């Protein structure tokens, strides 16, 4: 059984204020406004967000920080236009002519970052991963924003390139949010051929043992990507997720812990996510409120 009291102690002792506020809402004794207050601290005057990505420690606005912020709004079930619209307006200023968004902007150069961010450059190409993730959240939160239509065209045009696990995850989320359900279901059929029978997506370019698991791709039962995984696989993964709670009450991650501060921040993030996923699949008791998004 999941030890919620131990998880609460871990989050209180080790997670960022943002994740502490998110955990309180999930537990049912927090206020959405408190999460928004914490999230707004990451906003920049240009409308974007910085500092929010644990592995990209730059104050400058970055697409990954906007993605993280929109995912949190989605989790809370609020559009919060005061944050969403300026962030998407900023995103338009860094979007390439093909409608896609770079993985990382040149403004990250010179700041501490994990090695997989590479060498940031001002003329970076568009990223299918980043654009798909942002388009999925924008479709749910601000579907009328002018940034979205060119971005969606970019993702549809490049979708066949989705093979790397993290890209596949965000493309699957894009397909979950897509309004053209027939087209999305056809694309999911194609995506299914890239998922191994055990459902575990091994990251070839990552550290030894780095994987994305089925519940990373289908974090709730109603997600369109849920059908990519057999019922017994999902049940096994839920059992493993429950068993993955560490002795200190938190969960951990399989990618490189390149920085001690980032490692603690990520453990707070994945602990909140683990509890949200378990709640969504009915594996936690009534002390946790229903999850959204």
- The whole-number pLDDT of residue 205 equals 85
13 CB-near residues (< 8 Å, 6+ apart): none
- The whole-number pLDDT of residue 290 equals 46
- The whole-number pLDDT of residue 102 equals 98
- Tokens describing residue 71: 């995912």
Q: What is the pTM of this model?
A: 0.95
pLDDT digit string (tens) for 2-24? 999 999 999 999 999 999 999 99
- The whole-number pLDDT of residue 291 equals 44
Q: What is the mean pLDDT of each run of 10 residues along the chain (293 residues)?
A: 95 98 94 97 98 96 98 96 98 98 97 94 96 98 98 97 95 98 97 95 90 97 97 97 97 94 97 97 70 47
Distance (Å, whole) CA 284 – CA 261: 29
DSSP code per residue over 145-175: -TTHHHHHHHHHHHGGG--SHHHHHHHHHHH
- The whole-number pLDDT of residue 206 equals 87
Label residues 91-117 b or e (16+ Cβ within 10 Å = b).
beebbbeebbbbbbbebbeeeebbebb
- The whole-number pLDDT of residue 1 equals 86
- The whole-number pLDDT of residue 287 equals 52
* Residue 47 burial (CB count, 10 A): 18
């Amino acid at each position: 059984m999941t030890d919620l009291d131990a998880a609460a102690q871990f989050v209180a002792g080790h997670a960022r204020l943002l994740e502490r506020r998110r955990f309180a809402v999930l537990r049912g004794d927090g206020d959405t406004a408190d999460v928004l207050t914490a999230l707004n601290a990451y906003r920049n005057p240009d409308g974007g967000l910085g500092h929010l990505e644990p592995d990209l420690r730059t104050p400058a606005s970055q697409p990954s920080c906007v993605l993280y912020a929109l995912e949190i709004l989605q989790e809370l079930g609020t559009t919060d236009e005061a944050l969403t619209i300026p962030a998407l307006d900023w995103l338009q200023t860094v979007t390439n002519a093909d409608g896609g968004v770079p993985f990382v902007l040149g403004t990250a150069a010179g700041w501490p970052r994990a090695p997989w961010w590479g060498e940031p450059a001002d003329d970076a190409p568009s990223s299918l991963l980043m654009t798909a993730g942002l388009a999925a959240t924008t479709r749910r939160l601000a579907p009328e924003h002018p940034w979205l239509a060119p971005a969606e065209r970019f993702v549809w045009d490049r979708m066949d390139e989705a093979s790397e696990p993290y890209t596949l995850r965000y493309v699957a989320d894009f397909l979950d949010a897509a309004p053209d359900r027939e087209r999305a279901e056809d694309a999911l059929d194609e995506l299914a051929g890239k998922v191994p029978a055990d459902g575990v997506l091994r990251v070839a370019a990552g550290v030894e043992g780095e994987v994305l698991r089925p519940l990373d791709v289908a974090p709730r039962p109603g997600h369109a990507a849920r059908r990519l995984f057999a019922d017994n696989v999902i049940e096994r993964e839920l059992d493993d997720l429950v068993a993955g709670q560490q002795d200190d009450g938190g969960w951990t991650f399989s990618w490189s812990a390149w920085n001690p501060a980032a490692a603690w921040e990520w453990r707070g993030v994945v602990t909140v996510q683990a509890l949200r996923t378990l709640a969504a699949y009915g594996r936690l008791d009534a002390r946790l409120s229903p999850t959204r998004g």
